[in-house]
Structures are given as C-alpha cells and as structure tokens.
Amino acid sequence: MSKIKVVIIEDHELMRFGIVTALSADERIEVCGEADNGFSGLNLIKMHNPELALVDINLPDIDGAELCQKIKNDFNTKVIILTADKTQDTVTKAFKHGADSYCIKNLPKKKLAEAVYATYQGESWIDSTIGKILIENMKNQPKAARQTSKISHKKECTSGASTLSQREIDVLQLIAQGMSNEKIAAHLYISIGTVRSHVHRILQKLNCENRSQVAIKAISLGLVETPMREENDYVQNLLIA
C-alpha cells in the first residue's frame, strides 16, 4: 500500500517538529509538507495533493475552521483539527466547517498515527476528552439555557432523531465512542455492509454530513452514552427533564 501523504499546518515550530517526528515514525505515513500559516498550507496542498491535512485551529493568518472549509471546498483532502483548544464553540465550529476528525495536542504519538489512519479510511476520530467537554458545558448551563436545550432536543426528536431504530441507536452510541465501521461490526456481530447502511440512515435522520457531526450532535443532545458513562444520566436529565 502506498503511504498516506500528510501536510502539517501548525504555526508553533516546536509543536510542528514533534508532529512531523511522530508521524514520520509510522511506516504508513509520509509527511510531504509543513507550513506555519494557513495560506502557505493551502499552497502545499495544491502542490502535493495529500490525503490528509493536520490543521491547528489558531493560525496567524486565518482561522483554522475557515481554512478547513477552504480545503474541503477546493481539494479532495481530509482534515484533522489538531489543537489545544477544547471549548465547545471551537469544537462545534470545526465540525460545521467540515472537519473530519478532532484531536487534542497532548495526544500520545501512537494515538495520533491511529487518528490519521482512521481518518484516511473514511472514519471520524474524535478525541475522548471532547465528550467530557460537552457534558461539562451542559452541566454548567444556567436553568434558562437548559430549558432552551430541552426545547431544542424535542424539536430534534420530531425532526428525525425519534425515528431512529434501536439498532441505529446502538450504532450511534459506538460512533460517538469513536469506533470504526469494522469495530462496530465486530462489537455488534453484524457485517460491515450492514453497519454502513445503518450509518447512512443515521446521517439522513439526524441531518448530518459526516460521522463527526453525528457524534457531536448525539452527545450534545444526550441521545447516546458518552465515554464518561457515569455522567450520562445526569446529562439526559438536563436535556429532557
């Protein structure tokens, strides 16, 4: 198999060096370019046509989410957001602008390579801390905001979420945990083709464009269990009580 070509767009030199070093250690990955700003990164993508771009959200010349949107509009390149910014607004904005995966910068280098490979295969790799961030954000909402969330939740249900079958909810829970189609198939003892069919229907019913958006919407609406299972019931109560 040919190597996965990756471009790194990160303005901090030391961090960029660490990312390049970590990914270059994996024989499946080739770092074909690195840039310290967004527009230089776009030029590299145009030059090398990589399968993946790792993009910092805070760049000196352009917002990382906006850069992500430009990449998705103009190139056949998947985007992994790699950043220290874990705020809900930033996470949500990144996925709305087309990000395929979202990683936190303190990710172990082995996990970073896994995220690259999973994203290359068409999966969405979502850092396990993101679910916790969304949960904490909702727990800290004032009562009025929680009431708004409750109303929004009901609207979502009437517009598609309530039509999910039990099996689709099972698949949705595993998507939110970051599982690939292969892992979901093994976990549920069903074929990969069946998983793909379920994922396609889930995307349609929740009006999402990709698995990342599905996972974020599902967690934020309290539709599924998150990696922090012990807090999930509390989040459900915040949303629908």
pLDDT in 10s for each residue of the chain, 241 residues:
689 999 999 999 999 999 999 999 999 999 999 999 999 999 999 999 999 999 999 999 999 999 999 999 999 999 999 988 888 788 878 888 989 888 888 888 888 998 999 899 887 787 767 756 655 555 555 544 444 444 454 444 435 667 888 899 889 888 877 778 888 999 999 999 999 999 999 988 888 877 777 877 776 666 655 443 333 332 333 233 2
pLDDT of residue 227: 44
Please give the Cα distance from 113 to 226 (Å, whole number): 23
pLDDT of residue 151: 43
pLDDT of residue 50: 97
Supply the DSSP string of the chain, one letter for each residue.
-PPEEEEEE-S-HHHHHHHHHHHHTSTTEEEEEEESSHHHHHHHHHHH--SEEEE-SB-SSSBHHHHHHHHHHHSS-EEEEEES---HHHHHHHHHTT-SEEEETT--HHHHHHHHHHHHTT---B-HHHHHHHHHHHHTS-HHHHHHHHHHHHHHHHTTGGG--HHHHHHHHHHHTT--HHHHHHHHT--HHHHHHHHHHHHHHTT-SSHHHHHHHHHHHT-S--S-GGGHHHHHHHHH-
pLDDT of residue 89: 81
pLDDT of residue 160: 62
Could you tell me the pTM of the whole model? 0.67
pLDDT of residue 132: 61
Beta-bridge mates of residue 180: none
pLDDT of residue 88: 76
Please give the Cα distance from 136 to 150 (Å, whole number): 16
Long-range contacts at 163-167 (CB < 8 A, ≥ 24 apart): 163/205, 164/202, 164/205, 164/223, 167/198
